[in-house]
Amino acid sequence: MLHDLFPPGIQHALDLAGIFVFALAGALLAVRKNFDVFGIAVLALVTALGGGLFRDLCIGAVPPAAFSELSFFVTPLLAAALVFFLHPEVQRINRAINVCDAAGLGLFCVSGTTKAYEYGLGLTSSAALGVATAVGGGVLRDVLANEVPSLLRDREMYAVPAVVGASMIALFISFDLLNPLTTALAIVTTFVLRILAMQYHWRAPLAWNRRSSVAEEP
């Protein structure tokens, strides 16, 4: 579906851009954790490709694109090499990386939803896999780095924008309204929500009427 809306070259470039910035985020976390070069490469690969790999295995798209498309595998390694040698400079443009990451979030939740629907899943399941495509790599990254996954403690609303974007695509499909304009609308909506959440420190609500004396972990 998505490949019918955009020329293959543009779609491929967008995928690589999303993979690259996700890989930068994973590699930077590895540097902050004092991982060695192998750990940096692993976190870059897992962050960039984990969500798409999970989606492809769930829908039976084998071999997964992460292994059948060489550029998808090489791009995270290039990002890891960049961070390994230039991590102080990369960290200085962390805000720009966060903006690109937000764009990748929008693209991946949309592409994940449409690909799952193409393989015969229902709209709800397709939207769920769209969210998994967008945030799955980050969850694996956090687990490997011994961090509480951001999906479970959604500070600055990372998963919520992906849920909104994937749900929009599912609704557009159900009403036969999916086209380049509505697809772009879902991507932009996800992107803007994520940017606003970072700017204003929005977050998902805690448990209703929580009265525990235990302080929230930092």
Q: Mean pLDDT lowest for which of 11-20, 74-83, 114-123, 188-197?
A: 11-20
Q: What is the pLDDT of residue 129?
A: 96
Q: Do 130 and 109 form a contact (C-beta atoms < 8 A)?
A: yes
The Cα 178–Cα 190 span in angstroms is 16
Q: Mean pLDDT lowest for which of 96-100, 117-121, 131-135, 190-194?
A: 96-100
- Mean per-residue pLDDT of the chain: 88
Statement: residue 166 has pLDDT above 70: yes
Statement: residue 76 has pLDDT above 90: yes
DSSP secondary structure letter of residue 216: P
Q: Per residue in 107-161, pLDDT tens?
A: 899 989 999 999 999 999 999 999 999 999 999 999 999 988 878 876 678 899 9
pTM listed for this prediction: 0.87
Q: Percent of the chain scored above 70 by pLDDT? A: 92
Q: Do 16 and 75 form a contact (C-beta atoms < 8 A)?
A: yes
The one-letter code for the residue type at 178 is: L
98-101 LR contacts (CB < 8 Å, sep 24+): 98/198, 99/195, 100/17, 100/21, 101/21, 101/22, 101/25
